[in-house]
Structure formats: structure tokens, C-alpha cells
Structure 1
């Protein structure tokens, strides 16, 4: 891997050279002439591709309701979370931060509690100062996703504004998105200055705080009982003695 120290006029692939950015530095590498893949590497590549598509779908499903900018590594972090979790382990998405620089705990030392009835309780507490911020916006977002059909089946949101110049006595938010699929609950916090929203990435957060699956109850088939009825008389076998009918015929 070479690191470019002068001006470079392209990014991406040109011929057998690829220019890309890594950790703020522009790098250059060549394309390998041949790529050998084993069955395991092909299987891993296929799973990584599926995880990347799922990550892109999750981002697009939540994007219309998120008001903060994700950090530059959010895509890779989300894909890595899905790959590590394994197939259909959506519960592992809990705790994912769309802005990796800040978490919800920065704003609420006593963390909000989300219950299965769709209510979020934020305990009364002393909120720390956030520079010149005068107001804080808290947004609870619930998005229900059917990963089988790759569709968003419902969405709901509730918004709370907190005056940072006044004591915070606690608050409750609620959302309701019935239906089938996986429910992703995201809590977003933005701070506002006197003249508008703050774009300081340390003062804005969005984190998945709950993941709920709708489990379809398993239908148990009743056990079949053995047939204890006697065979019909016409089908019953007549007894014989030495192969002869014991009742002499007229």
C-alpha cells in the first residue's frame, strides 16, 4: 500500500491502479492479477454481501426519520455488527450508534427505560451543561421492518423538547407500531443553540435502544389416537382346524 503525498486527480479504479482514502490519507494499490477463492471464502463473501444489503436496507428504512448526520464509518460499523451477529439475530442491533462519537448516556446519566408497551420513561435528573446549548430535542422513533419481504410496515415517532435552563423533572414518550416484523426503536437527541441546531457531532446522538420481534405462536397438532375399533365381521378371519372348516357343511 502506497500513501500519496502529492495531489492526485482521481479516486477509484483506473487501469490496474486503485486510489482510495483511509484514515484521512489517500492511498494507492494495484489490482491483483488473479483472485483464488476457496469454498469458505466464497461462502463468507456471499454472507458479507447479504449483510451489506441488509445494512443498506436498515439505513434507508430509518433515514427519513433521523435528523442527525451519521459518522463516516457508520456503514462499515453496521455491516460489521450484522456479520458478527449472524443470520436473523436482529437483537444484536441494540446499542448501535449512528453517530459513533456520542451515545445517549452523555445526555442522560440515568438512562431512559423503554417498556414493551411502547413507552419510554426518562427519570428526573440533573442534566449537565452542553456548552452554549439552551434546548435539547429528544425524539423516539419506532420502525417496524419485515425482513422477509424487505419492506417497512409501519413507523411512529414522538418528540420532546427540554429547556436546559430549567430543572428537568422527568418525562414520558410513547410510540405504537403494531403488525408483523421486527421493531427497531431508536432514540435521537439533538442540542440547540439560541440561533438554531448545533452541528457539533459530540452534541448529537442516535442509538437503537430496543429491538422487538413478533413471534408467531407455534401451532401444535393434536396427537392422533390409535384406531381401536374391531374389524368388520365380514372381514374377520374364520378359525380353521388343520386347514378345514370346523363346522361341517350340509
Structure 2
């Protein structure tokens, strides 16, 4: 891996050279002349491609609703989480952090609970706010994604501003994102210091706290038509046939 230190930088492929950005640094690597793939590497590539597309759909649906920029590191982290969870096992996304440095658990002594009726309940507690913080902003984002058809079918958000100078007696935030697909609930916590939103990455967090799969469609019941009963016709008896006692032979006359 080489680093690009010139004034003019680029990303992408140029001949057999590939330029890319990693950690804020422009790097270069050569493109291999031949790539040998086994059946296992092909399957892994298909899984990685499917997870990357699903991760891009999740980011495009949730990141615009967040109040802080998403860094490039979360791309690989989200793809890795999807691969680890397995295909169509979206419950494995629960706990994913859009800010890897801080989670929402750093602000609560008792975890908020999300119910199926669309309400996020935050019990009364002593909030774990950073020093010199005046307010905490709590934002819950509800996102409905149809992964089969690759589209976002619903989005809703609810915000509450908590004054840290007063005892916190609890709060309920309601969101509703009807539609078809998987429901992702994201909780964001932001810190205000002297009335200004802090940009310190250790003072805000956004986690996926709940995942609910959509209801599968009801099976269509088709009534089979009754098969008509066929009447058995009596077998015709052979001509010139006679019933003889057992032991007698029948001789046909010419």
C-alpha cells in the first residue's frame, strides 16, 4: 500500500492502479492481473454484495434523520453486522451503533423500552450526562424498510428535550411508520452544553434498539372442486355362456 501525497488526488481505477481513501489518507494499490476464485470465495462474494446493498439501503433511510454526520467506518461495520446476523435475520441489527465511540447506554442508568404500540418509554432515573451539560435531546426514529423490493415504505420521528437542571420524571415518545417491511427503531441522544449542540463524538450516540419483522401475508386458501363419482357399469356377460355345476365342461355346438 502506497500513500498519494501529491496536490491532485483521485479515487477509483486508473489503468492497473486503484486509488482509495482510508482514514483520511489517499492510498494506492495495484490491480491483480488474475483473480482465482473457488466456490467458497464466490459464495462469500455473493453474501458480501447482498449485505453491502442492504447496508446502503439502511444508511440511506436512517442517516438523513440523524443530527450528526455518519463516518465512513460505519459502512464496513454495518456490512459486517449484516453478514454476522445472516440472511433475512434482521433482529441481529439490534444494538448496532452509528457512532462507534459512544452508545446510548452511556446516558441512561435504566434502559429505555420500546413497545409494540409504537411508544418508547424512558423510566424516571438519574441521567448520566457529561459534565457541564445543560440539556439532553432524545430522538426516536422509526423506519420501515421493504428489503425484498428495496424501498423505504415509512419514516417517523419524535423528539424530546430534557432539562438536566430539573429531576427527570420519565418520558414517553410515540412514533408510527405504517407500511410493508421490517421496522427499525433508532434512538439518538445528543448533548447540549450552554445551549449549544456538542459536536464531540463522545457526547452523542445513535443505536438501533429494536427490530420488528413485518407480518407475513396470509396464505390464500383455494377450495378444491369435488371429484364427481363415476358409476361402475356392469360388465357384459359373454354370449352362449351358461352356468354349469362344478366339474362339468362346456362344449360349444357348431
TM-score w.r.t. the length of structure 2 is: 0.82
Distance apart, 1:132 and its partner CA: 2.3
SS at match of 1:128: coil
Q: Does 1:75 align with 2:72?
A: no
CA shift in 2, pair 1:151/1:19, >3 Å: closer
Distance apart, 1:117 and its partner CA: 1.2
**Whole-Å Cα distance in 2 between the matches of residues 155 and 220 of structure 1?**
30
1:204-243 aligned at under 5 Å gives the runs 204-216=204-216, 218-219=218-219, 231-232=230-231, 235-238=232-235
**Whole-Å Cα distance in 1 between the matches of residues 242 and 167 of structure 2?**
105
SS at match of 2:183: strand
CA shift in 2, pair 1:237/1:24, >3 Å: same
1:34-45 aligned at under 5 Å gives the runs 34-45=34-45
**Whole-Å Cα distance in 2 between the matches of residues 219 and 46 of structure 1?**
31
In structure 1, what is the equivalent of residue 52 of structure 2? Answer: 52
**Whole-Å Cα distance in 2 between the matches of residues 152 and 26 of structure 1?**
34
Distance apart, 1:181 and its partner CA: 0.8
| Deviation readout 1:179-208 (Å, 9 max, x if unpaired) | 321000100111112242110110111110
- Greater shift after overlay, 24-33 or 77-86? 24-33
**Whole-Å Cα distance in 2 between the matches of residues 120 and 27 of structure 1?**
44
**Whole-Å Cα distance in 2 between the matches of residues 113 and 69 of structure 1?**
26
CA shift in 2, pair 1:202/1:36, >3 Å: same
In structure 1, what is the equivalent of residue 89 of structure 2? Answer: 89
The alignment covers a number of residue pairs equal to 241
CA shift in 2, pair 1:121/1:19, >3 Å: same
CA shift in 2, pair 1:237/1:140, >3 Å: same
Could you tell me whether the CA contact under 8 Å between 1:99 and 1:206 is conserved in 2? yes
**Whole-Å Cα distance in 2 between the matches of residues 243 and 80 of structure 1?**
89
| Deviation readout 1:51-105 (Å, 9 max, x if unpaired) | 1111111111113321122233111100111122221111111111111111111
- Greater shift after overlay, 61-70 or 48-57? 61-70
CA shift in 2, pair 1:242/1:83, >3 Å: farther
CA RMSD of aligned residues (A): 2.8
**Whole-Å Cα distance in 2 between the matches of residues 44 and 157 of structure 1?**
36
1:23-34 aligned at under 5 Å gives the runs 27-34=27-34
SS at match of 2:149: coil
CA shift in 2, pair 1:245/1:56, >3 Å: farther
Q: Does 1:103 align with 2:103?
A: yes
SS at match of 1:165: coil
SS at match of 2:88: coil
In structure 2, what is the equivalent of residue 177 of structure 1? Answer: 177
CA shift in 2, pair 1:59/1:241, >3 Å: same
**Whole-Å Cα distance in 1 between the matches of residues 204 and 242 of structure 2?**
99
Distance apart, 1:46 and its partner CA: 2.2
Could you tell me whether the CA contact under 8 Å between 1:68 and 1:205 is conserved in 2? no
In structure 2, what is the equivalent of residue 163 of structure 1? Answer: 163
